[in-house]
Amino acid sequence: MQLNADEHSDRVLSVLPSSGAPTFFDKESELELQRSFQPWARDSRWHPQVDEASVFHARLAHKAVEERCWEIGIGKGGQMYSMTSSFGEAMPPQSPQSQWMDETWQFTTIYEPLLGRDLPKSSQRFGNAFVHQSGIYTRQKGERPFYSPILADSFDAANRSFSVLSWAQIPDPSVNRSGVLVYAQYRDLGAGVIEVTYVIYNFEKHPMTNLGPWGGARTSVFPEHVISNPDGSYRFFTPYSYGSEGCRIDFDQTGGWAAVTQNAADPLSYAIAVVFGTDLDRRGDHYARPRYDVGNSRHGTRDYTVQATVIHIKDVPGTAHLLRMYFIIGTLADVATKANKLAPYATYAPLDLTTEGVPRVFLYADAEGLTRTRPQETAQPLCQVYAHPVRGSRPLFLIREVKTGRTFCTTDPYARCAREAFVNPLPEGHASFNKYETRTVYKAFAGETEWVDLLGFVLTEALPGHTPLASILPAREAFDPGECEPAEELFVRPAE
């Protein structure tokens, strides 16, 4: 069956599972997708040295006559960079050195054993092993932001949702590599409720050590914060130093939600709740209990109340993970009522995606190599690949080399991107000397390659009914292994 571009994106993004959460469509409303940037439509009062046009990918607008309207901005890395309603802009005004890279709602994780804490302080950023859905920091004045490449997106008007897939980045030039795909769906449940669903897939050989949606609000708009109690009530809880003692609380010591608000003593004040749940699925192997971290910048230079959820997992690379949370916009009393209803629907679970349980897509040959779009009606497919990240599979990217214009397929997203040799700052004899010897600094942001598409997923073992990718001539000729497996060690389904 031939798939057009939209149908392919829909199939790729159908890995995001539906939920049984209640909806709140008591009054008539609609969700509108805006693809064109309209800077005159609102005054977000960003930092004067940043330009919203550089981050804009799409905007979702909840429109209604009898209830509060809201809009959220989706950035070029798939992150939620803006949230506006009657109160104005809720997201922080940004910093020129990390514009829409830290101060957004986004998925984050860490390859913690790889962190370069054993490097001298001046070199530690080259050992960065955090992973951001948003992209890579702008460290130099005038440097353009590099957002995580978006590989697919889809708007479902009937489901009132927008879904996006991106290859998440280590936020500094680093000797470490990101193998994290982030699928995110933003869904309007009505009356100020936004459901956010993530599916995370790590195709590197190193395990992630946590799943951590990270974000927050503009402290000057929402100066106070409350945390829910197990009985569904809430209490004033406004720490001002993120990461310090007393700023962290385990999910199961709460009612599953927290909220920033204009006045914690006034139930009618504006508020935004974050619903993270209490009893998350325990099928995954955990290091510690899930927790919520918070701290504001009341006494600092950033107008930012940080809110982060941290789920400590023992990741097995090649396993997909589901994470679902909610935002609620309204009065403090209203968001508390809805948050208590939604807390049971916030969840985490590893996903067991098998070759027999996911859809497949055909690949064809064209003038540039491989494509998932039939080039002409009579073209015959070469093979089939999996639309979803089945257990242990690797993503097959279509990448364009900017200098030559040539496209190639690969399972290594860093193939042919800019890089340089890392100068080891440690002396011989140092315990970590060998760890940093003959290493490479990867510079995906340098503009030498463009990530055109995600063709699908291929296997690294020869299961029955599969054939080597190298046995397909056009695929072999268009393939570049980079630093990953050669085409002889990757396997696909035959076309028939």
* 150-191 pLDDT, tens digit each: 999 999 999 999 999 999 999 999 999 999 999 999 999 999
Higher pLDDT, 416 or 239: 416
Task: Tell whether 317 and 364 lie within a shared domain.
Answer: no
Q: pLDDT digit string (tens) for 296-348?
A: 876 666 899 999 999 988 889 999 999 999 999 999 999 999 999 999 999 99
Lowest mean pLDDT among 85-99, 248-262, 280-294: 280-294
Tell me, yes or no, whether 329 and 365 share the same domain.
Answer: no
Q: What letters, b where the CB count within 10 A reaches 16 and e where it falls short, cover 180-202?
A: bbbbbbbbbbbbbbbbbbbbbbb
d(CA 383, CA 391): 20
Residue type, 445: F
- Provide the token pair at 43: 């005054």
Please give the span between the terminal C-alpha atoms of the chain, in angstroms, as a whole number.
11
Domain boundary residue among 317, 351, 385? 351
pLDDT at 369: 82
Percent of the chain with pLDDT over 70: 95
What integer pLDDT is reported at residue 435 of this predicted model? 95
Asked if 260 and 278 sit in the same domain, the reply is yes
Given 351, 368, 384, the domain boundary residue is 351
pLDDT band at 400 (very low <50, low <70, confident <90, very high): very high
How far is residue 8 CA from its own chain's centroid? 20
Its pTM stands at 0.95
Total structural domains within the chain? 2
User: For the chain, how are helix, strand and coil distributed in percent, rounded to 5?
Assistant: 15, 40, 50
Per-residue pLDDT averaged across 125-134, rounded? 96
Confidence of residue 1 (pLDDT cuts 50, 70, 90): very low
Residue 302's pLDDT is 84
Q: Please check whether residues 192 and 292 belong to one and the same domain.
A: yes
Q: What is the pLDDT of residue 284?
A: 64
Helix and strand counts by DSSP (H, E) for the chain: 3, 34
Q: Are residues 218 and 324 in the same domain?
A: yes
313 in the same domain as 179: yes
- Is residue 320 domain-shared with residue 406, that is, in the same domain? no
What's residue 347's pLDDT?
Answer: 93
Q: What is the CATH number of the domain that holds 129?
A: 2.70.98
List the structure tokens of 454.
Answer: 């995600």
For residues 337 and 401, state if they share a domain: no
Single out the residue of 31, 15, 67 nearest to residue 162, CA to CA.
Answer: 31
| Residue 367 shares a structural domain with residue 314 | no
Parent domain of 418: 360-494
Pair 303, 373 in one domain: no
AA letter at 451: W
> In this model, does residue 283 exceed pLDDT 70?
no
DSSP 393-418: -EEEEEEEETTT--EEEES-TTTT-E
Residues 443 and 308 in one domain: no
How far is the C-alpha of 243 from the C-alpha of 43, rounded, in Å? 31
pLDDT band at residue 2, thresholds of 50, 70 and 90? very low
Q: Specify whether 333 is located in the same domain as 392.
A: no
The 10s digit of each residue's pLDDT in 25-65 is: 999 999 999 999 987 667 789 999 899 999 999 999 999 99
Residues 209-268: tens digit of each pLDDT: 988 899 999 999 999 999 999 999 999 998 877 777 788 999 999 999 999 999 999 999
Q: What is the pLDDT of residue 377?
A: 83
- From 351, 374, 393, the end of a domain falls on 351
